[in-house]
């Protein structure tokens, strides 16, 4: 395939961008900063891959090239596309393909060693630095932890519970000390706690907006509150003394008009309300009618003479003015105080827990670069080339990070790739103005644009260009619209139907009396028209030479509600559709229904909860069926027993087995088909179950899991989105515009561009000033600069959303437009109204067309490109989707033998069935901490998680306290209980001499590898021969036989600790078993018995063999006798420094002869009948720990672990 070359558009403005031609891409400087704007469908990913090729051809390796994008899915796509392009380039150089202009030009410019470099890059793609922005920040902080000041061990997660707790603490400390009346006024200004939380979340971002106007200090506002409360009480006393006279004056004053607020009946009613108010005055309950007591209102309603002139009225006017000023200052002052205090408290809590969020990673790296300029230099050396994809979705902190690393640095290259016309993620804190500022910093000769559209037909490209042809179509002068050009020689599949134009625009009809249709009615009529048109297309149209299929059509909407409306309309005409949304699966009906079921599983004795679960949408029971289960004793008993059984399984085996068993007990296959969209519901249910299963691993108990589910549903924090069904491709796709970005469809319907969601006065609004700084203004009025700018930015983003929607189409587009709605959000305030209007700029006020003239049709229509026709009337239409008859199936004969002896084995599996000694309970009072500490599997898991993270060479006090607070709840332990006696116990453990001249406290962290996962391949394993060999190793004596059959395959395991000391490599395994309540229970004789009973001899043999094979590969001069130190089994409860290795420490070092036999005979490398292509030998995977440092010690592994 030839290079996707780009021709300069007619009238393109060189001051803004230059078209990136093929020769320009080949000659693009490989140093400095450049900007590439890639319009929709112009081959952005292809261009990135070609730039990657150029850097590889120039001698860069994949590990030198940083590619950053914004989602995990995008990183995988980029990795795959770059790998494929490298493969294609190699094939071209070998003469296997031809006709690629770019590769031909590259080969001419870099003739030497190009194939060698490409082959090496292809082999090294696993080292490629392709990350999300957060992944890059995490990598930078950890790889350069000393410069960044970050700990080695960071847990990345959500901090919503911490933030919510900090918000609640601030709320309590701020308002609870106040009286009810004082607190009520302040709380109402914030909209209660829910309103406060919503506003706080809007402001709480990595780079918070500047409050405009700046709020006064909270102390001053509080003082003003107290002063106004005093003033109100004074007014109330004056009313109490002179109220009757004042009322009589207003009722009888000859100068007031009596046809407005001072009409006798209205005035009497208002005065009665004011009389009630003044008898119990409250700042948060000042009635609006108090304005009738002010001289300003008198002047508005004066028919002659002088207005009432009592000092009381002037005092009321002054009070109301000061109250309005206070109300405008109250919320900003409180929120400014809350931002400072809550962010500080949350940061402290996260440091204590060792938790960082994704936003924290950005802030941490930004601060580290500011604090340590050497870090920027190190990062530029580590990644001398960087390409940032989707740069229009960046923010100020992200751009500042890359600017600090690369701007002005010799020998480095930074390429920013994006499209400001597709910046539609402001709700995710993406900041278009950062993009525009970055663009301004880049010299014009380093700005390029891709304008050749490889997606759409030439006719459709011309039609879409017409929509955005007005000057300043995107409202900001720095976002020019450069007309897309069709790709020369590209073969397309046009929509073939009688007289079918590329774009069809349906004109909305008028309502009764020539008025605009209400929005709801307009949406319903358009949805029905879309359904009928799709039915007609599926009957009559072709896509090129092929019949049009349902999967070729997409309907793009703003919200899921709009999508549901279209889906129902399609269902009425017999067309199946799937709603593809990026809304969280936690907001689905299935999430709500599953929570009801799980609450009943957690409390089957609670009759009310169990009754409520019968109404769960997951069950889909009718009212009659629910009533039957409630009234029939047998049905009710069976229902409760099913819940009790699920609870027991959950407690004993975990969530997923309980969930699957419950599905069988409630007979889901019977109920599910009766619900709407059964396939979608089943998919969502299984997706939810997987997420809960993952969460349950870190949360002990049912209650902890349910609390996590409720919190996740409430905040919709989950990143996992709704799944697509396997047969989505055979259905009409209905998608939100946001979810459709990056996708394309042959035929696209955009049915509802006649509605929008304009900004509302009186709410917190975010906007940008002329310098691009983010501002926040509370309760601006229409006409104020903050409101005007916020509404202008809303309209600009709506234009960009419309651009994304229209550019998804390959062959044909449908839209509906016309005047609809009469209030907020009507057609006159939409992006399409702006594009079709004659106005060139909002001109200092919110853009709005009260009435569309008929000229918009003529301005838009274009023969052969865009046809404007009336919205089709309702009529009969039905499309019977083809039902594929399932073929007659029969089992094929199977003539091969199953390799049933091939297994994946581990020590746990091989030791399964051994008799277990009775578990001991923890001791009572007066015992040493190690022997008094709780016992049980959950305690052992907790202790392992602690030892996995402790730095043995440092003081343990702060480490243990922080880690125990963080991890104890995960294992069902109270943090206070978990900490009791733990610090002195672990101090004893790390300082107990191990008998080889060192203790754990002597082993620096960089010489350790913790939780080391391994697997190795093996040929036939003869259990009897293995037993004979093990009997010759420590500990000698009788031991229970292994219950394992002959097998071959893989052996897998996890080693607690591997470390290097004195040029030798050692293994340590931690055992927290409670063997007794005396230290004498941990002497060698007792430990030998425990090692035999639990068959730990087999375990340490497997660990030793795994490390032996690994070191043979990694160390060129490896010798078992000189490099392997031995194995320690550390029984933690028996370890004391004064006893040394005499208690709690078991040591073994298999002889070289035994190890050779274990390696070459018992677990030989030869593997037969292995499925797939598992490589014999060994692989390691460090889970949570550090690879061996390079060059730090002769005896250490020469290379980092894979």
- Inter-residue contact 502 to 812 (CB < 8 Å): yes
Q: Of the listed 360, 395, 419, 1069, which one is catalytic?
A: 1069
Residue 787: φ, ψ to 5°: -65, -45
Q: Beta strand 542-543 with 546-547: parallel, antiparallel or unpaired?
A: antiparallel
Alpha carbon 1200 to its chain centroid, in Å, reads: 31
Count of CB atoms situated within 10 Å of the CB of 1165: 15
Separation in Å, CA 741 to CA 265, 387, 433, 460, 736? 60, 20, 20, 18, 9
Give CA torsion, residues 848, 852, 855, 861, to 10 deg. Answer: 90
Count of CB atoms situated within 10 Å of the CB of 331: 22
- Inter-residue contact 767 to 788 (CB < 8 Å): no
Residue 186: φ, ψ to 5°: -70, -40
Select from 1, 48, 11 the least CA-distant residue to 28. 48
SS3 1086: helix
SS3 621: coil
Give dist(CA 1058, CA 1016) in Å, integer.
Answer: 17
SS3 450: strand
In sequence order, the 6+-apart residues with CB closer than 8 A to the CB of 443 are none
Mark whether 1069 is an active-site residue: yes
Alpha carbon 1114 to its chain centroid, in Å, reads: 39
Give dist(CA 285, CA 181) in Å, integer.
Answer: 10
Q: Beta strand 503-507 with 866-870: parallel, antiparallel or unpaired?
A: parallel
In sequence order, the 6+-apart residues with CB closer than 8 A to the CB of 461 are 453, 484, 485, 486
Give dist(CA 745, CA 1127) in Å, integer.
Answer: 61
**What pairs with residue 867 in β-bridges?**
504
Burial of residue 893 (CB within 10 Å: 0-12, 13-18, 19+) is exposed
Give dist(CA 1110, CA 1012) in Å, integer.
Answer: 12
Residue 701: φ, ψ to 5°: 95, 160
- Inter-residue contact 533 to 750 (CB < 8 Å): no
Give dist(CA 74, CA 218) in Å, integer.
Answer: 45
Give dist(CA 103, CA 117) in Å, integer.
Answer: 14
Ramachandran sector of residue 465 (left: φ over 0; alpha: ψ -120 to 50; beta: rest): alpha
Which stretches does DSSP call E strand in 94-149?
129-132
Listing DSSP states for 707-776 in one string gives HHHHHHHHHT----BPPPPTTGGGSEEEEEHHHHTT--EEEEEE--TT------TTS-EEEE-TT--EEE
Give dist(CA 33, CA 413) in Å, integer.
Answer: 6
Give dist(CA 998, CA 1144) in Å, integer.
Answer: 15
In sequence order, the 6+-apart residues with CB closer than 8 A to the CB of 992 are 999, 1000, 1135, 1136, 1137, 1139, 1140, 1141, 1144, 1145
Separation in Å, CA 1086 to CA 589, 913, 940, 1043, 1097? 58, 22, 20, 24, 15
**What pairs with residue 734 in β-bridges?**
555, 579
* Catalytic annotation, residues: 1069
């Amino acid at each position: 395939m030839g290079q996707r070359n780009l021709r300069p558009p007619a009238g393109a403005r060189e001051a803004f961008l230059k078209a990136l031609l093929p020769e320009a891409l080949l000659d693009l400087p490989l140093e400095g900063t450049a900007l590439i704007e890639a319009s929709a469908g112009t081959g952005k990913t292809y261009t990135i891959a070609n730039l990657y090729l150029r850097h590889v051809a120039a001698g860069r390796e994949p590990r030198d090239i940083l590619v950053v994008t914004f989602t995990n899915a995008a990183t995988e796509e980029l990795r795959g596309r770059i790998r494929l392009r490298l493969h294609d380039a190699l094939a071209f150089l070998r003469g296997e393909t031809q006709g690629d202009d770019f590769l031909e030009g590259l080969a001419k410019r870099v003739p030497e060693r190009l194939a060698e470099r490409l082959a090496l890059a292809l082999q090294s793609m696993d080292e490629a630095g392709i990350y999300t922005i957060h992944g890059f920040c995490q990598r930078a902080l950890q790889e350069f932890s000393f410069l960044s000041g970050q700990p080695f061990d960071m847990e990345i997660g959500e901090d919503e519970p911490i933030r919510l707790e900090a918000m609640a603490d601030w709320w309590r400390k701020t308002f609870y000390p106040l009286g009810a009346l004082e607190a009520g006024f302040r709380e109402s200004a914030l909209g209660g706690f829910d309103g406060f939380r919503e506003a706080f979340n809007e402001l709480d971002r990595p780079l918070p907006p500047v409050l405009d106007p700046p709020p006064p200090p909270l102390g001053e506002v509080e003082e003003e509150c107290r002063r106004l409360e005093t003033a109100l009480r004074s007014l109330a006393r004056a009313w109490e003394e002179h109220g009757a006279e004042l009322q009589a004056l207003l009722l009888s004053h000859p100068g007031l008009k009596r046809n407005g607020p001072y009409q006798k009946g209205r005035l009497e009613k208002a005065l009665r309300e004011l009389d009630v108010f003044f008898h119990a005055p409250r700042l948060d309950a000042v009635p609006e009618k108090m304005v009738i007591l002010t001289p300003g209102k008198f002047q508005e309603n004066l028919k002659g003479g002088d207005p009432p002139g009592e000092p009381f009225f002037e005092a009321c006017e002054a009070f109301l003015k000061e109250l309005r000023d206070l109300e405008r200052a109250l919320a900003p002052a409180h929120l400014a105080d809350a931002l400072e205090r809550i962010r500080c408290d949350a940061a402290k809590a996260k440091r204590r827990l060792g938790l960082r969020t994704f936003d924290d990673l950005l802030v941490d790296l930004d601060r580290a670069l500011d604090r340590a300029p050497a870090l920027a230099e190190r990062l530029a050396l580590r990644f001398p080339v960087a390409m940032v994809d989707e740069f229009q979705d960046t923010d100020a902190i992200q751009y500042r990070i890359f600017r600090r690393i690369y701007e002005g640095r010799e020998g480095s290259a930074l390429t920013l790739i994006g499209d400001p016309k597709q910046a539609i993620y402001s709700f995710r804190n993406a900041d278009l103005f950062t993009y525009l500022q970055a663009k301004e910093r880049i010299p014009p000769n380093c700005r390029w644009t891709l304008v050749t559209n490889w997606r759409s037909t030439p006719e459709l490209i011309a039609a879409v260009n017409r929509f955005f042809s007005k000057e300043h179509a995107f409202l900001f002068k720095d976002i020019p619209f450069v007309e897309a050009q069709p790709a020369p020689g590209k073969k397309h599949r046009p929509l073939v139907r009688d007289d079918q134009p590329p774009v069809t625009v349906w004109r909305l009809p008028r309502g009764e009396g020539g008025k605009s249709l209400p929005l709801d009615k307009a949406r319903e009529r358009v949805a029905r028209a879309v359904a009928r048109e799709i039915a007609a297309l599926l009957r009559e149209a072709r896509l090129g030479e092929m019949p049009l299929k349902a999967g070729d059509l997409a309907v793009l909407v703003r919200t899921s509600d709009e999508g549901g409306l279209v889906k129902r309309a399609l269902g009425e005409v017999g067309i199946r559709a799937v709603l593809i949304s990026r809304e969280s699966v936690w907001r689905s009906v299935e999430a709500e229904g599953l929570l009801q079921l799980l609450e009943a599983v957690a409390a089957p004795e609670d009759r009310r909860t169990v009754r409520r679960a019968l109404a769960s949408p997951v069950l889909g029971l009718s009212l009659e069926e629910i009533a039957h289960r409630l009234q029939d004793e047998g049905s009710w008993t069976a229902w409760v027993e099913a819940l009790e059984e699920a609870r027991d399984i959950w407690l004993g085996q975990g969530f997923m087995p309980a969930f699957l068993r419950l599905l069988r007990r409630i007979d889901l296959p019977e109920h599910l088909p009766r619900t709407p969209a059964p396939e979608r519901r089943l998919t969502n249910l299984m997706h939810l179950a997987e997420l809960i299963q993952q969460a349950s691993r870190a949360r002990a108990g049912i209650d902890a899991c349910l609390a996590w589910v409720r919190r996740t549903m409430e905040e919709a924090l989950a990143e996992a989105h709704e799944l697509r069904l396997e047969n989505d491709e055979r259905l009409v796709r209905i998608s939100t515009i946001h979810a459709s970005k990056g996708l394309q469809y042959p035929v696209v319907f955009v049915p509802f561009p006649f509605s929008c969601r304009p900004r509302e006065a009186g709410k917190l609004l975010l906007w940008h000033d002329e310098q691009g700084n983010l501002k926040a203004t509370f309760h601006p009025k229409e006409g104020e600069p903050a409101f005007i700018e916020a509404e202008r930015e809303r309209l600009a983003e709506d234009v960009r959303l419309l651009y994304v929607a229209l550019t998804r189409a390959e062959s044909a587009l449908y839209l509906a437009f016309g005047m609809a709605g009469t209030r907020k959000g009507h057609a006159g305030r939409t992006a399409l109204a702006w594009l079709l209007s004659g106005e060139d700029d909002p001109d200092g006020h919110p853009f709005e067309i009260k009435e569309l003239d008929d000229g918009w049709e003529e301005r838009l229509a274009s023969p052969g490109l865009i046809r404007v026709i009336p919205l089709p009337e309702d009529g009969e239409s039905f499309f019977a989707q083809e039902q594929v008859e399932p073929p007659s199936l029969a089992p094929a004969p199977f003539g091969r033998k199953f390799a049933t002896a091939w297994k994946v084995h581990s020590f746990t599996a091989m030791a399964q069935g051994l008799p277990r000694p009775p578990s001991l309970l923890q001791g009572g009072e007066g015992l040493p901490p190690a022997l008094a500490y709780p016992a049980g599997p959950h305690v052992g898991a907790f202790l392992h998680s602690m030892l996995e993270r402790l730095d043995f060479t440092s003081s343990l006090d702060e480490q243990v306290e922080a880690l125990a607070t963080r991890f104890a709840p995960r294992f069902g332990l109270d943090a206070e209980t978990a900490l009791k006696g733990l610090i002195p116990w672990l101090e004893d453990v790390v300082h107990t001499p191990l008998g080889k001249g060192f203790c754990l406290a002597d082993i620096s962290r960089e010489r350790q590898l913790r939780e080391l996962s391994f697997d190795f391949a093996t040929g036939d394993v003869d259990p009897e021969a293995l037993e004979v060999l093990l009997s010759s190793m420590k500990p000698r004596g009788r031991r229970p036989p292994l219950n394992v059959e002959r097998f071959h395959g893989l052996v897998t395991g996890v080693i607690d600790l591997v470390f290097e000391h004195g040029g030798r490599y050692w293994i340590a395994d931690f055992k927290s078993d409670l063997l007794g309540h005396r230290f004498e229970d941990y002497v060698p004789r007792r430990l030998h018995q425990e090692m035999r009973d639990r068959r730990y001899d087999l375990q340490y043999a497997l660990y030793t063999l795994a490390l032996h094979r690994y070191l043979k590969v990694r160390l060129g001069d490896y010798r078992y006798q000189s490099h392997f130190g031995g194995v320690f089994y550390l029984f933690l409860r028996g370890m004391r420094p004064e006893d040394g290795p005499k208690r709690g420490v078991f040591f073994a070092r298999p002889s070289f002869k035994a190890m050779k036999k274990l390696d070459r005979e018992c677990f030989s490398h030869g593997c037969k009948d292995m499925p797939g292509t598992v490589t014999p030998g060994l692989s390691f995977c460090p889970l949570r720990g550090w690879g061996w440092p390079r060059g730090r010690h002769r005896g250490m592994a020469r290379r980092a672990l894979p």
